[in-house]
Amino acid sequence: MSASPILITGGARRLGRHCAERLLDDGHPVIISYRRERDELEALRRRGVATLQADFASEAGILDFIARLKTETDTLRAIVHNASDWTPDSPGDDAGANFERLFRVHMQAPYLINLHCRELLAACPEPLRDIVHMSDYVARRGSKKHVAYAATKAGLDNLTLSFAAMYAPSIQVNAIAPALVMLGEDDDAAYAEKAMAKSAMRMIPGPGVVYQSLRYLLDNRYVTGVTLPVDGGRHLR
Ligand SMILES: NC(=O)C1=CN([C@@H]2O[C@H](COP(=O)(O)OP(=O)(O)OC[C@H]3O[C@@H](n4cnc5c(N)ncnc54)[C@H](OP(=O)(O)O)[C@@H]3O)[C@@H](O)[C@H]2O)C=CC1
Ligand SMILES: Nc1nc2c(c(=O)[nH]1)N=C([C@H](O)[C@@H](O)CO)CN2
């Protein structure tokens, strides 16, 4: 019997893609969602990754994705809610729409996918089943420039607690809360230097440290309802 696939939302690029590739290397079938078609998706498709387009900016978009996911597979080993939008707050008329977009991708999408896809996890014949939410260090600290982002990630942390209690013991539900793990395309050396100084470890480690945390959660049968900090000791500065 072939292994059940692992779903990673927002898996076309950066951290999500790194984890998708590492899961493939570890022998897991992988399904990803992506928002925008990109040339680099072809390499994943060549490795057998099922790629499903999805925009979680609306409830209809979330439910449409769920319906297509259920035609793609009837079982899941794990769901990794990685899709995220790091848009800073906009002071103008777009403030409310911006908050709503971040609420939908960081909270409503994980909420609806967890509810509607519980049956796929329950159908997994393997001994362990997991949901992992990608959170953020700032969920616990707040952010002056990303208020809506931090608040909706804090909401995601609360979803971790509720779903962990609801889905135990058959499904484990945890979160990973990184701080700066990899830079954005537009970040310059000055930004990198300033960002590195914020943590005790003073480094930008790259996506491997996130995969190590995901691997730990997938392999551990006694951890649920926790958020793993992967932040270089930000809280020590
Ligand atoms: N990078 C870092 O240092 C840190 C990352 N994190 C968290 O780790 C996770 C991965 O980070 P990173 O790789 O930088 O994330 P990205 O900013 O690269 O976003 C990941 C993916 O989410 C997708 N996405 C964005 N908005 C939507 C939407 N409305 N509907 C569907 N998909 C959407 C994007 O798709 P597309 O590209 O097609 O638009 C993108 O590929 C995120 O949850 C992030 O919050 C937390 C702290 C630090
Ligand atoms: N969806 C995203 N979330 C976050 C990103 C990102 O690029 N996409 N980047 C960060 C920063 O690295 C931040 O941690 C630097 O202080 C946070 N979240």
- pTM score above 0.90: yes
Identity of residue 51 = T
For residue 210, what pLDDT is reported?
Answer: 98
For residue 91, what pLDDT is reported?
Answer: 85
Answer whether residue 20 is part of any domain.
yes
Answer whether residue 1 is part of any domain.
no
Q: What is the pLDDT of residues 29-67, one digit of tens each?
A: 999 999 999 999 999 999 999 999 999 999 999 999 999
Domains contained in the chain, number? 1
CATH number, residue 71 = 3.40.50.720
Q: Is 167 a catalytic residue?
A: no
Residue to mutate (ligand 2; options 35, 180, 188; most atoms within 8 A of CB): 180
Answer whether residue 58 is part of any domain.
yes
From the alpha carbon of 85, which atom of ligand 2 is closest?
1
Q: What is the pLDDT of residues 117-157, one digit of tens each?
A: 999 999 999 999 999 999 999 999 999 999 999 999 999 99
Q: What is the pLDDT of residues 62-105, one digit of tens each?
A: 999 999 999 999 999 999 999 999 999 998 999 999 999 999 99
Identify the nearest ligand to the CA of 192 by its number.
2
